[in-house]
Amino acid sequence: MTEARVVAQTFDKLGEGPLWAAAEGRLYWFDIKGARLNWLRPDTAECGAWPLPARASCAAPRAAGGLLAATERGLAFIDTATGGFDLRQPMDLGQGFRSNDGKIAPDGRFWWSAMDDNGGERPGRIYVTDADGFTEPVLDGIHIANAISVTDDGRTLYLADSKLGTIFAYDTADLGTRRVFARSEGEGAPDGAALDAEGFLWNAEWGAWRVVRYAPDGSIDRIVELPVQQPSCCAFGGADLATLYVTSAWEGLTDAQRAAQPLAGCLFAFEPGVRGQPLPAFAA
């Protein structure tokens, strides 16, 4: 039975967007509501954080160093040596909207989402930023976009609408074509996800105390229980991509709930027995 362990006690209000920066040997993740970028060196267990001038939620490592990050104010470069923040592409996401989930695809494009910060009351939007830095909206009508992951062959985009409790599989050649991939059971909702080298999708299930591994046909292959109710996103990391890291959150929990799960908001990890899908650095 796989057991998750705590690897960073950051107690994020809304931990999100973990990503592995291979060139630095670091895992990065955000506390969206705390406007903070956290980092961990797994080989030394050293960790730290940088405060940010805007709320950021997801990022990709840059080939030139640092990160390309999606923020509530647009796309920014973050200098991971100094915490420097350079708003490179200011954008108006809409009053009350912020960035949410995102990930670089195997072809080098950065997919990311914007959502209504009021629980996704109004539908949000999906953007794609290409290797030259050009950004365009590609999908509308997703209320709380999560689980953004593109398969190795580039043909399928996995994208959840957490408000609907559903993960969809889109044809990347025609984003108007989609099918239901999986639906969450009970009170849980699909949140951030990561693909492994076998093409299975690992999904952090918000509200359900668990991470679920879905087979390519959408069936549940494995469930890994966590000691926190709100796991929020996952990413493979480590030099061999053999560790799955999982962020979590305490936002929305009552005092009693927080007392019952004192590790809410921490970063967890476990070795699932399969390696992650290698992802490139962002070129621009």
What letter does residue 275 receive in the DSSP assignment?
P
For residues 71 and 266, give the distance between their C-alpha atoms in angstroms, rounded to a whole number.
22
First and final CA of the chain: distance in angstroms? 42
Answer yes or no: are the C-beta atoms of 78 and 99 closer than 8 Å: no
Which residue, among 143, 74, 68, 56, has the nearest Cα to 104 in the 3D structure? 68
How would you class 226 by CB atoms within 10 Å of its CB: exposed for 0-12, middle for 13-18, buried for 19 or more?
buried
Active site residue 31: no
For residues 119 and 104, give the distance between their C-alpha atoms in angstroms, rounded to a whole number.
25
Two tokens, residue 247? 């962020």
CA atoms within 13 A on the CB side of 62: 16
Q: Rg of the chain over CA atoms, in angstroms?
A: 17
Tell me how crowded residue 200 is: count the other CB atoms within 10 A of its CB: 17
**Which entry of 31, 116, 117, 191 is annotated as an active-site residue?**
191
- Can you list the positions of beta strands (E) in 80-144? 85-90, 97-104, 110-116, 124-129, 135-142
Which residues are known to be catalytic? Answer: 191
